[in-house]
Structure 1
Amino acid sequence: MYMNMCVPFRYKSSGDDDSSSKKIIEVLMINSPSGPGLLFPKGGWENDETVEEAAVREAIEEAGVRGDLMDCLGCYEFRSKTHQDEFSPEGWCKAAMFALFVKEELQLWPEQNTRNRSWLAVSEALGSLRHEWMRDALERFCKWHEEKFVDGTI
């Protein structure tokens, strides 16, 4: 099973004065109806959409956010109990991961009755993630951000 995932992020000022304060990166996490811990929005894609379009759609459906989809940060393999079938009894999935710079947080979204969203500093998110492979993905996101945005912001 092929899936997509995005790391939604934004900047928050660390002080009272926006002009001199440092910007802190926050990432958006969602809960899973199937168990404890937090996740990034992820899911499969439809036949009529690209992986990028699917990542944007999943961010809207699961987390209720829109923004600019940025670089693909890599691919991950993981096991999923919900995707075990005759073709993949082990439930192996492969996910392409993208960075999503959030520009709009929707008040209403398709999965709002089953998902709660939480903005967390990266250090908090690392301790809250449900899966090890997502922690690795977040670390890769941090490295990508540091290399791409030398001044710390977009």
Structure 2
Amino acid sequence: MFTRTQTAREGRDRQMYEQGARVIAGCVPVDKQGRRILLVASSKNEGEWVLPKGGWENDETQEEAATRETWEEAGVQGRIVSHLGEYKHKVNKRTGVPEDIYIFFEMEVESIAREWPEMKKRERQWFSFEDAKAIVSKKVMRKALEQCSLARG
């Protein structure tokens, strides 16, 4: 079970891998009433907005990892309502092996904290579904957005 803390997990010593690819779990945080998606500023690329996500660790389920990462990066909690799919990222053309495998879930946001573990590292911002889909640069994130409930009208 996910336990909310004020410190983010760090390091990759407990990371899960499948056939050499790092498994990354994340959420599409949704405000169904306002038809909005919550995005966070990338910690690696200034000016880039992304879905909250991070490494799945060996002491948690994929849903727990996605919930933990969404708390750490965006400071929100909610209910996982659906599995949005598994997406291979940066597939090596020679070997056909992906570097990363992303697993996304839809989360209906229930609470937004004023303080969260990565608040000094990241901004968070609500975007309309259409704007979120247009602004995320990673194809795997656009695919996850296309599977969420807001994509179906």
Q: TM-score range by the shorter chain?
A: 0.7 to 0.9
Deviation of the 1:130 alpha carbon: 2.1
TM-score where L is the length of structure 1? 0.75
Q: Does 1:112 align with 2:119?
A: yes
Query: Which has the higher mean CA deviation after the structures are superposed, 41-50 or 58-67?
Result: 41-50
Instruction: Please report how far the alpha carbon of residue 32 of structure 1 lies from its aligned counterpart in structure 2 after TM superposition.
Output: 0.6
Residue 50 (structure 2) pairs with residue 39 (structure 1): yes
Residue aligned with 2:117, SS: coil
Taking structure 2 as the reference length, the TM-score comes to 0.75
What are the Cα deviations for residues 111-140 of structure 1, in whole angstroms up to 9, with x where unaligned?
000110010101111121121221121112
| C-alpha separation in 2, matches of 1:131 and 1:92 | 14
Structure 2 match to 1:9: 30
Give 5+ residue unaligned stretches, structure 1: 13-23, 81-87, 147-151
1:132 aligned residue: 139
Query: What is the RMSD computed on CA atoms of the aligned residues?
Result: 2.2
Q: Which residue of 1 aligns with 2:76?
A: 65
Alpha-carbon offset, residue 49 of structure 1? 0.7
Residue ranges of structure 2 left out of the alignment (5+ in a row): 1-21
Q: Distance in 1 between matches of 2:60 and 2:140?
A: 25
Q: Give 1:52's aligned residue.
A: 63
The offset of 1:91, in angstroms, is 6.8
The offset of 1:31, in angstroms, is 0.6
Paired residue secondary structure (1:62) = helix
Q: Distance in 1 between matches of 2:137 and 2:114?
A: 25
Q: Which has the larger radius of gyration?
A: 1
Between the aligned residues of both structures, percent identity stands at 35
Which protein is richer in helix relative to its size? Answer: 1
Q: 2 CA distance for matches of 1:46 and 1:129?
A: 25
CA distance in 2, matches of 1:57, 1:138: 19
Structure 1 runs of 4+ aligned residues shifted over 2 Å read none
Alpha-carbon offset, residue 34 of structure 1: 1.2
Which one-letter code corresponds to 1:130 in the other structure?
A: S
The one-letter code of the counterpart of 1:31 is A
Which of 27, 37, 46 does residue 27 from structure 1 map onto?
37
* Total equivalences in the alignment: 127
For residues 33 and 96 of structure 1, what CA distance do their matches in structure 2 show? Answer: 19
Structure-to-structure mapping, 1:91-102, within 5 angstroms: 92-102=99-109
